[in-house]
Structure 1
Amino acid sequence: MIRVLIVDDSAFMRKVITDLLKKMNGVEPADIARNGKAAVDYLAAHDDIDLVLMDIEMPIMNGIEALKQIKQKYSTPVIMLSALSNKEITIEALELGATDFVTKPVNLTAIERDWTRDLERKIKGSQMKKNERLHPTIERDKKLRREVALKEKKTDVELNRGVHALVIGSSTGGPRSLLTVAKALPRKSKVPIFIVQHMPKGFTKSFAERLDAECGPHVVEAQDGMMVEPNTVYLAPGDYHMTTDGIKIYLNQEPKLHGTRPAVDYLFKSAAKAYHKYLVAVILTGMGHDGADGMVEIAKNGGYNFAQNKETCVVFGMPRAAIEKDVVNEVLGLDEIATKVNRIVR
C-alpha cells in the first residue's frame, strides 16, 4: 500500500484528492497537511509516508521551500500539484528533485478520467525504484548486468565515423537529467539535437527556456515545419508528437502512444529513417517502455544507442525496456552520458 501525504492549503482540493486516492488500488491517503511547514513537521514525526503530493503556492511555507527541506532530509518522493500559472516554478521544482508533477484540474467538480489515470500512473511510478530494490527480479537483473558488462567493453571506435544528429528521450526524472546533459554540452554543437520529454502542454516552452539558459547550443520549443539546423536543440512541445526527416520538423496530434503525447518512439523511428548509421540515441530515466521500439529501428539502421543505468535513474523502466531488446550499445551513469554526448556533438 502506497501511503500518501496530501499537502494543500485548499480544504476542497484536499478533499477531492483524498477521495480520488481512496478509489485507487494500492494507494492510501495517509494524512493531510495545510502548508509546507506542516508537511515537513509531519515527516519528522512519521516514517511511514511513501509519497508526498504537494501544492506549490501555500501560506507559511510554500511548496518549493518545503521541497528543498524534504529532499535534504528524506528520500521520500514528492509529486507537485501545479497550476498552469506556475510553469517556471514547476520546472524549478523538478530541478530541485521533485519526482514529477501533475497540473491541477481546471474543474474540480468534473475531473477527467485521463487526469485521474495520469495521477495514479505517476503515484505508482514514483515507487518503482523502491519496489525494485525490495523485490528484485534476481535472474533478470543478473542477465541485464551480464549484457551491460559485455556492451560496456566496446570503445568509441564505433562512433568515430561522424554523427549527423542526436536524439534523446526521457520521462519521470527526465527534466533534472536533461539539465545535467545540457550543462555538459559544448558551446557549439556540429549537429542538431532532438528531445522528447514527457511533459504536458503549457510547460515545454518554459522548460526549453530553462534548458537554453544552461546550454551552449540554442534550445527551442519545436514548431511544425521548422528547418533543422546544427547547433540547435529542439524540444517536442507538450501534446504534440515530433518527427523529422532530417530537413524539417513535423508535429502531429496522432493518438497518444504508450499513454503519452509526445512519445519518444515517434521521434526515434523517424530519425532512424532520416539519419541511418549517422544517428546517436540516448534513453534516460522514465516509466514504461517508450523509446524501446524506436531504438530497435535505430539499431536496424546502423545507429548507436545509449541508455542511462539503473543506479542513476529515478525510474529505470524506459532504459530497462530498451536494454532487454538487446539494442543498447552502452549503459552508463548520467554523468558519463553527459560526457559522451559532449564528445559526440562537438
Structure 2
Amino acid sequence: MSIKVFIVDDSPFMRKIFSDILSDTAGLEVIGTSRSGRDTIRRLDTLKPDIILMDVNMPGLSGFEALKLIKEKTSIRIIMMSSQGGEDVTIKALESGAEDFIGKPQDLKNTSTEFKKELEYRIKSLFKNEWVRKEKPLKKNPPVRKRISEKTVFSNQDLPKKVEAITIGASTGGPRALMQLIPLFPADLSIPVLVVQHMPAGFTASFANRLNAESNVTVVEAVDGLPVEQGAVYIAPGNYHMIVDNKTIRLLSTPKMHGVRPAVDILFESVAKEYGSKVLGVILTGMGYDGTQGLYDIKAAGGYSLAQNEETSVVYGMPKNAVENGVVDQCIGLKEISEILNQMIKVS
C-alpha cells in the first residue's frame, strides 16, 4: 500500500516539481496539491492523506499557522519545506508538531537525483514499513554488557556518581525532544553539554537562538576555537563536524559520515577521549544509525549511555540501532531521560 502524500506550496512550479518527483517514486502516491493552507485544511477530510509536504512561507495562512490548525484536529504527519530565509519559522514549526523539514535546493536541476533520494527517505522513515534503511551493526564487539530490553523502565541503579560532560545526538524529531530537555536544565548547570542535531547550515543557528531564549542556561551555536565552559550548551553548526580537543571546540570540514555533517559519532568519540569515564552520552529520536559507534567509544571509556525509547521517538532508528548493538545502559522515555540528566547535573 502506498503512502498518500499531499503537497502544499503557493508556487505552481514547485508543486509541479514535487509532484513529478514523488509520482516517480515507488511506494508514494501524490493524492493532491494545494496553493494555500486554508484550502488544504478544507480538503483534509475528503482526501485523508498520510503525510503533508507543506511550504513554510505562504501568503494568507502561513505554513506555520496551517500546521498548528491541522495538528489540533488530526494526527497527520507533516514535513515542512523551507527555503533560505525561513529558518526561524521552520524551527518554530518543528517545535509545534512538524515531524521533519527539508530544505528546498537552490539548484534543483543539478541536484534532482540526490534530492529525490533524500525526500523519499525522509517521508518513508516516518512510517513503519519495509522501505526504511536497515540499521548498521558495529564492526567491533561492544563492551561487555547484557542487551537491555527496549522497554527498560527508569532506574537509579548503576547511575554514575559524577559526570563532567553530557553529549547528545539527535536527528528526525530531535528539535522537539531537545526543546523538552534543555530548557529544564537548572541555571546553576556546572558541566558542559555538547549537542549534534542533524540540520543544514543556517538552521542550527536559529535552533540555538531559540533554545537560548527558552532556557535558564546559555545555549550557543559552536564556533571553532571556543573554550568549552562549564554550564554552557554547544550546538554543532550545520555542515561542520564538531569535536572537543583540550577543552576547546574544533570544527572540521572533513567528509560526511553516514551521509551527514555534523555526525554524532565524531563528537561522541572526541568527548570520550577528552572526559573518559565521566561522560554521559544520550541518543535521541532519529533515522539511521549515527551515534552507535560513538556510544561504543563512550562505553569503552567507562562512560554511561541513555537512549530514547520507541514510544516517545518520532523515528526509532538511531536509538534502536544503539540498543541492538548493546551499547545502551537505559532505553527510556524522554521524561525519564530529563530526570536522569537533571539528577546527574545536581551531583556533578
- What TM-score results when the alignment is normalised by the length of structure 2? 0.90
Q: Which residue of 1 aligns with 2:270?
A: 270
Q: 1:129 to 1:328 in 2, by over 3 A?
A: farther
Secondary structure of the 2:158 match is helix
Q: Which residue of 1 aligns with 2:198?
A: 198
Moved more, 269-278 or 22-31: 22-31
Please give the per-residue CA displacement for 1:269-295, whole angstroms capped at 9, x wherever unaligned. 111111111000110000011101111
Q: Report how far residue 155 of structure 1 moved.
A: 4.5
Q: Which residue of 1 aligns with 2:38?
A: 37
Q: Which residue of 1 aligns with 2:66?
A: 66
Amino acid aligned to 2:237 = P
Contact 2:153 2:331 (C-alpha < 8 Å) held by counterparts: no
Asked whether 1:174 is paired with 2:174, we answer yes
Amino acid aligned to 2:192 = P
Amino acid aligned to 2:210 = R
Q: 1:246 to 1:126 in 2, by over 3 A?
A: farther
Question: Whole-Å Cα distance in 2 between the matches of residues 151 and 117 of structure 1?
Answer: 32
Q: Report how far residue 340 of structure 1 moved.
A: 1.3
Q: Report how far residue 119 of structure 1 moved.
A: 1.5
Secondary structure of the 1:85 match is coil
Q: Which residue of 2 aligns with 1:3?
A: 4
Q: 1:322 to 1:52 in 2, by over 3 A?
A: same
Question: Whole-Å Cα distance in 1 between the matches of residues 161 and 205 of structure 2?
Answer: 34
Q: Report how far residue 339 of structure 1 moved.
A: 1.5
Q: 1:84 to 1:287 in 2, by over 3 A?
A: same
Contact 2:154 2:332 (C-alpha < 8 Å) held by counterparts: no
Contact 1:128 1:315 (C-alpha < 8 Å) held by counterparts: no
Question: Whole-Å Cα distance in 2 between the matches of residues 90 and 251 of structure 1?
Answer: 25
Question: Whole-Å Cα distance in 2 between the matches of residues 323 and 54 of structure 1?
Answer: 34
Q: Report how far residue 16 of structure 1 moved.
A: 0.6
Amino acid aligned to 1:173 = G
Q: Which residue of 1 aligns with 2:14?
A: 13
Amino acid aligned to 2:28 = V
Amino acid aligned to 2:81 = L
Question: Whole-Å Cα distance in 2 between the matches of residues 344 and 130 of structure 1?
Answer: 39
Q: Report how far residue 108 of structure 1 moved.
A: 4.1
Contact 1:246 1:275 (C-alpha < 8 Å) held by counterparts: no
Question: Whole-Å Cα distance in 2 between the matches of residues 202 and 63 of structure 1?
Answer: 19
Question: Whole-Å Cα distance in 1 between the matches of residues 110 and 14 of structure 2?
Answer: 13
Q: Which residue of 2 aligns with 1:50?
A: 50
Contact 1:282 1:307 (C-alpha < 8 Å) held by counterparts: yes
Question: Whole-Å Cα distance in 1 between the matches of residues 318 and 128 of structure 2?
Answer: 12
Contact 1:81 1:102 (C-alpha < 8 Å) held by counterparts: yes
Aligned residue pair count: 332
Contact 1:129 1:315 (C-alpha < 8 Å) held by counterparts: no
Please give the per-residue CA displacement for 1:140-164, whole angstroms capped at 9, x wherever unaligned. xxxxxx9545994784353343111
Amino acid aligned to 2:222 = A
Asked whether 1:87 is paired with 2:87, we answer yes
Q: 1:22 to 1:237 in 2, by over 3 A?
A: same
Q: Report how far residue 245 of structure 1 moved.
A: 2.6
Contact 1:184 1:339 (C-alpha < 8 Å) held by counterparts: no
Amino acid aligned to 1:15 = K
Q: Report how far residue 15 of structure 1 moved.
A: 0.4
Question: Whole-Å Cα distance in 1 between the matches of residues 270 and 332 of structure 2?
Answer: 25
Contact 1:208 1:220 (C-alpha < 8 Å) held by counterparts: yes
Question: Whole-Å Cα distance in 2 between the matches of residues 156 and 336 of structure 1?
Answer: 10
Amino acid aligned to 2:56 = I
Q: Report how far residue 25 of structure 1 moved.
A: 2.1
Asked whether 1:288 is paired with 2:288, we answer yes
Q: Which residue of 2 aligns with 1:22?
A: 23
Contact 1:151 1:329 (C-alpha < 8 Å) held by counterparts: no
Q: Which residue of 2 aligns with 1:138?
A: none
Question: Whole-Å Cα distance in 2 between the matches of residues 11 and 152 of structure 1?
Answer: 49
Secondary structure of the 2:205 match is helix
Question: Whole-Å Cα distance in 2 between the matches of residues 155 and 122 of structure 1?
Answer: 34
Q: 1:153 to 1:285 in 2, by over 3 A?
A: closer
Contact 2:286 2:314 (C-alpha < 8 Å) held by counterparts: yes
Q: Which residue of 2 aligns with 1:122?
A: 122
Q: Report how far residue 301 of structure 1 moved.
A: 0.9
Contact 1:295 1:328 (C-alpha < 8 Å) held by counterparts: yes
Please give the per-residue CA displacement for 1:311-342, whole angstroms capped at 9, x wherever unaligned. 00000000000000111111111111112111
Question: Whole-Å Cα distance in 2 between the matches of residues 150 and 35 of structure 1?
Answer: 42
Contact 1:164 1:278 (C-alpha < 8 Å) held by counterparts: yes
- 1:233-248 map, 5 Å: 233-248=233-248
Structure 1 stretches lacking a partner, 5+ long: 133-145
Q: Which residue of 1 aligns with 2:139?
A: none
Structure number with higher relative contact order (C-alpha < 8 Å, ≥ 6 residues apart): 2
Contact 2:280 2:304 (C-alpha < 8 Å) held by counterparts: yes
Q: Which residue of 2 aligns with 1:305?
A: 305
Question: Whole-Å Cα distance in 1 between the matches of residues 309 and 130 of structure 2?
Answer: 15
Structure 2 stretches lacking a partner, 5+ long: 133-145
Amino acid aligned to 2:156 = D
Contact 1:171 1:286 (C-alpha < 8 Å) held by counterparts: yes
- What TM-score results when the alignment is normalised by the length of structure 1? 0.91
Q: Report how far residue 42 of structure 1 moved.
A: 1.5
Amino acid aligned to 1:285 = T
